[in-house]
Amino acid sequence: MAEDSSTSLSPPPIDPLNAGAASPSDRSVTALQPVAPVKLPVRRRWLLRRLLTVVHQLLGLLAGGLVAYVRHRPSEWRQRRSQWPIRLAATLAERRLDPKLVNLPFAAQLRHRLERLGPTYIKLGQILAVREDMLPHAITDELKKLFDQASIVSFSIIHASIEAELGRPLSELFRQIEEQPLGSASLAQVHRATTRSGQAVVIKVLKPGVREVVLVDLRLLGWLGAVLEPFMPQYEIVAIIEEFRSYTARELDLTLEADNGDIFAAQFQDSPAIVFPIMYRELSTGSVLTMEFLNGFKPGAPATFALAESERLQMVHLGAQAILRMLYQHGFFHADLHAGNLLILPGPPLRVGFIDLGMVGRFEEQTRRRLLYYYHALVNGDIEKAAQHLCEIARPGPGGSDPAGFRRSVVELSQRFLLRAARGEFSVARLILESMRLGGRHRMYFRVDLVLMVKALVTFEGVGRMVDPNLDVVAVSRVHIGRIFREQFRLTRLRRELWRNGPELLDLAGRLPELLVQSGHRLESSTTSFSAQPPLAGLRGAIVVAACILGGVLLLQSHAWLAGGGLLLAGWWIYWRGD
């Protein structure tokens, strides 16, 4: 008996996500009708039904994978007697599988089953699609199809949701709202509207019931990851699921997206040509977000090529400035960057706009600095230093990591990429991604924020070459990363950091004599021991500390700022060149 595709296609019997849903091809809008409130089943019963649905699809995927494996083995392998148990299992599984899926490759089966499981698993597939550092190309390429537009919820449902959230009739909130959505994703839907005061806005609305379904699914995913981790430790399934749960939970609260927009606007207030939509808090809740409509066109549209060459070059530099500043100056960046989330706003003056700010990445200060040094070294051709910084960013995985082997492999890969640069084939983003892919071989792993960073760089390169086919990515990157690098070491910024960390510096200054004595003893003992650590490493560290503390104290004195800055730079130089 074949797998029941109708059962696997639908979620648990009472599923709020299916209320009022329409396929993308059905664009007609029904008349406004009152919508009865959705009643959820008892949570435990719902959780159990959802668990059974997930297990059903997972077992179907494993059986389909077995069938695909046997089919793609060479004929001589299938004819061996020793393989008859596997062939028998595949034959029995094939009879039970959905005929619509059984003949598809494993990657396609995975995509279809994620689609059947609904919005949470579609989002999971989208995250997996960018993990090219860990997953085979066949799987990531197939999962990228999940970025296509999702099914549309009828406007009557959206109408009722907005009124319920904002507590007033729609006619009192907006002068006009378009029933045809601008876009529909797995979690939310977007409509264009005009406020009562005449501002053009877009309204982003969470689809009915999506929050409840996703929260249940996130709990189930945690259990699933714990079960699968021992069988596939090299993929670090638990870590990937935890990162995914964190990102997805934040996307369920549209108030956080409004916060993201305000943060981006504040960080780029000195660059009026880089625009983020204004958030209308009085017309927003956790499930409804009203924001400014940016009237522009996407890169690659016919209007792009109507711009003068100088204007297109200006757009490239604005995009590079924005993305590199997000990543390496602020450590707070748009984590869902693609050409559809970028807009060219016609002038004068010409501007570049960013939309769909629900998914953001964050780097803590130490990681941000390491990434800045890494990218700066990379675009300036210092591959040894770039490999060093990348190794410091990576996280050793289970089963024995090999940092030294990883570093050597990254250097060799970078050398090959630099040879291609002479032929105009160099891609900084591709080099970073391939370097991260090498990490899996040496059990050195990178968190999802770093992979999303590469996605942002891929967007910068792709959109840049779309606007200017002759774009020199390295030259443009060098200009903007050099500016960020110099900003990192401006004396005003160093003074601010020293003042902020004043108590810790004073405490360290009081212990400086003790540190110097300990370093001297370590230096003496190193002459009679066979320590693997360089004998001057401890003394060098103490000298760096001493130079930085004394430099900081002098820098805070207005009459000695030059001497203080010189000592700080000397300490930094000793640290930088000490390896």
Residues 124/221, Cβ–Cβ less than 8 Å: yes
Residues 101/419, Cβ–Cβ less than 8 Å: no
441-463 mean pLDDT: 85
pLDDT of 38 reads: 37
**How confident is residue 202, by pLDDT bands cut at 50, 70 and 90?**
very high
* Cα four-point dihedral sign 334, 335, 336, 337: positive
- Phi/psi-derived region of residue 20, left when phi > 0, alpha when psi is between -120 and 50, beta in every other case: left
**How confident is residue 418, by pLDDT bands cut at 50, 70 and 90?**
confident
Instruction: Give the residue range(s) of CATH 3.30.200 domains in the chain.
Output: 149-208+253-293
Cα–Cα distance, 132 to 457 (Å, whole number): 14
Q: Which residues contact 325 (CB under 8 A, 6 or more apart)?
A: 267, 268, 480, 484
**What does the chain come to in residues?**
579
- Give backbone dihedrals phi and psi of 206, rounded to 5 degrees, phi first: -65, 140
- In tens, the pLDDT along 54-112 reads 888 888 888 888 888 888 788 777 677 777 778 788 888 888 888 888 888 889 999 99
**How confident is residue 430, by pLDDT bands cut at 50, 70 and 90?**
confident
pLDDT of 530 reads: 43
Neighbours of 463 (CB within 10 A): 26
Helices of type H across 442-536: 448-467, 473-488, 491-500, 502-510, 512-526
1-5 mean pLDDT: 46
pLDDT exceeds cutoff 80 at 535: no
**How confident is residue 263, by pLDDT bands cut at 50, 70 and 90?**
very high
pLDDT of 505 reads: 59
pLDDT exceeds cutoff 80 at 389: yes
Cα–Cα distance, 34 to 483 (Å, whole number): 57
Task: Give the right CATH number for 149-208+253-293 from 3.10.450, 3.30.200, 3.40.50, 2.40.160.
Answer: 3.30.200
CA distances from 526 to 4, 535, 537, 541, 577 (A): 72, 6, 10, 15, 21
Provide the mean pLDDT of the chain.
78
Q: Which structure tokens are listed for 219?
A: 């709990």
Q: Which residue has the higher pLDDT, 531 or 526?
A: 526
- In tens, the pLDDT along 390-415 reads 998 888 876 667 888 889 999 998 88
Residues 97/3, Cβ–Cβ less than 8 Å: yes
pLDDT of 121 reads: 87
pLDDT exceeds cutoff 70 at 550: no
Supply the DSSP symbol for 234. Answer: G
pLDDT of 245 reads: 83
Cα–Cα distance, 387 to 41 (Å, whole number): 54
**How confident is residue 177, by pLDDT bands cut at 50, 70 and 90?**
very high
450, β-bridge pairs: none
pLDDT of 503 reads: 67
Neighbours of 363 (CB within 10 A): 23
Neighbours of 179 (CB within 10 A): 15
Cα–Cα distance, 158 to 108 (Å, whole number): 32
pLDDT exceeds cutoff 50 at 457: yes
Q: Which residue has the higher pLDDT, 276 or 142?
A: 276
Can you spell out the DSSP letters for 75-135? HHHHT-GGGHHHHHHHHHHHHHS-HHHHTS-HHHHHHHHHHHH-HHHHHHHHHHHT-TTTS
Can you spell out the DSSP letters for 517-553? HHHHHHHHHHTTS--SS-TTHHHHHHHHHHHHHHHHH
Q: Which residue has the higher pLDDT, 195 or 2?
A: 195
**How confident is residue 424, by pLDDT bands cut at 50, 70 and 90?**
low
Cα–chain center distance at 385: 25
pTM over 0.75: no
